[in-house]
Amino acid sequence: MNILVLGNGGREHALCWKIKQSPKCKSLYCIPGNGGISSIAKCFVIDPRKKSDIYKFCIKYLIDFVVIGPETYLEQGLSDYLIKRNIAVFGPSKQASKLETSKVFSKQFMKKFNIPTAKYSKFTNFEKAKQYIDSNKGPFVIKVSGLAAGKGVLISTKSDEAIKNCYEILIQKKFGNAGNQILIEEYLEGFEISYFIYVDKKNYLPIDYALDHKKLFDGEKGPNTGGMGAFTPSNKINSEIEKKILKEIIDPTFQGLKKSNITYRGVLFLGLIVTNNGPKVIEYNVRFGDPECQVIMRRYKSDIIKDLKNVSNDKLNLSKLKKISEPCLCVVLTSKGYPLKFRKNILIKNLNKIQNKDGVEIFHSGTKKNMDKIFSSGGRVLTITATGKSIKIARKRVYSVLKKLNWKNGFFRKDIGK
């Protein structure tokens, strides 16, 4: 099969890495790709938002199957566009993607089908949001309804801070049109987990879960990021919690999709928080997470192309997923200054000296290749992953690589997996 992956992050590098291992993969292409992906796939600089250009590429290169990575392309209806032109796709429709692309839609969906989540109120008017904050006690969780690259959730302990955040979103347009509508939610105490399932028209199938570190600094402090590291499995998750997740959240979600006549074909990422009152949904995402995908792909043992094809053909019942038993941990290396201002085009000098051994794989996020050298091109630059007999061993391997890499323009958290 000729396979095309769309995207340019660490998630897409991990997907390409796994797809390349499939005996069904004849030729692998990626648009636009990055410096690391270019070593395992043929990369082309085409804007995936130009749907007709992607279709023409598929025809020219005899593409049999397209795997869509980022949510933005799904929101724009790329999956629908290609399927209508008889190109097989892994990735939900524009309608199904509203579970992520509209927080208001997803909250209404959860309420309708009694899926446990935080209480909320929605606002488009700043003064009404201010009145609500003034008449309630914090902490306040403020979310923009649209897509904000994983940075659209702000937690405010004090009322004046919450009001300031609402002003910046609704009046100053901090997140552009994504923040035209906001949610103010109750603050839930607990620990978060990213849970992934495949979904087709007839079935769902659990894949794996990971614990993600969103905050920039050690000790879960500082601003939200796209993700600074992740690991799986965790001793916080036992069989009783997993049974509750399946019974109280995943099954009602799947039944809700069927009752709403929403045909979903793709991966569904459930952002959960495990509270003293059981697991609750923080948000839905309609794609693999980043960096969660990187650790999940490292443990993925099945033929991924067979599974993705089964999803797209409503034959998920034929898939029997297998994963390695060893834990996996990853740490994201960012450019200094991320997620605010940071420099680009910085040479990563020692990368070619590091051999991927002892269970280590390095996935590229924001990189580009010039001749045989790798330069930074984004905020999150590399994801260092490692497996091991324990999380402790995997951690040691990852941080050993970061020490050898010694990238002077880099920043990373030192407590991932602790």
Cα→Cα distances 63→16, 22, 76, 316, Å? 15, 16, 21, 22
The residues, ordered by sequence, that sit 6+ positions from 348 with a Cβ below 8 Å of its Cβ are 367, 374, 375, 376, 381, 382, 405, 407
- Residue 137: predicted pLDDT: 87
Bridge partners, residue 410, by sequence? 335
Q: Which amino acid is at 27?
A: S
| Burial of 322 (C-beta count, 10 Å sphere; 0-12/13-18/19+) | exposed
* 197 backbone φψ class: left, alpha, beta (φ>0; ψ -120 to 50): beta
In a domain, 299, yes or no: yes
In a domain, 109, yes or no: no
- We report the CATH number of the domain holding residue 199 as 3.30.470.20
- Same structural domain for residues 312 and 198? yes
In a domain, 111, yes or no: no
- Same structural domain for residues 278 and 302? yes
In a domain, 49, yes or no: yes
In a domain, 99, yes or no: no
- Same structural domain for residues 180 and 198? no
Looking at the chain, the whole-number percentage of residues with pLDDT higher than 90 is: 88
In a domain, 311, yes or no: yes
What pLDDT, in 10s, does the model give residues 104-155? 899 999 999 999 999 989 999 999 999 999 989 889 999 888 887 767 888 8
Q: Residue 103 has which token pair? A: 């927080």
- We report the CATH number of the domain holding residue 380 as 3.90.600.10
- Same structural domain for residues 203 and 176? no
What residue ranges of the chain have pLDDT lower than 70?
A: 150
Structural domains in the chain (count): 4
In a domain, 101, yes or no: no
- Same structural domain for residues 198 and 314? yes
- We report the CATH number of the domain holding residue 178 as 3.30.1490.20
Among 318, 353, 379, the domain boundary falls at 318
- Residue 314: predicted pLDDT: 97
- Residue 150: predicted pLDDT: 66
- Same structural domain for residues 283 and 338? no
C-alpha gyration radius of the chain? 21
User: Which residue segment(s) compose the domain that 59 sits in?
Assistant: 2-93
- Same structural domain for residues 311 and 266? yes
Among 162, 186, 210, the domain boundary falls at 186
- We report the CATH number of the domain holding residue 29 as 3.40.50.20
- Same structural domain for residues 264 and 175? no
- Same structural domain for residues 219 and 169? no
Query: How remote is the C-alpha of 67 from its chain's centroid?
Result: 14
Peptide bond into 139 cis (omega under 30): yes
- Same structural domain for residues 225 and 300? yes
In a domain, 417, yes or no: no
- Same structural domain for residues 306 and 333? no
- Same structural domain for residues 78 and 164? no
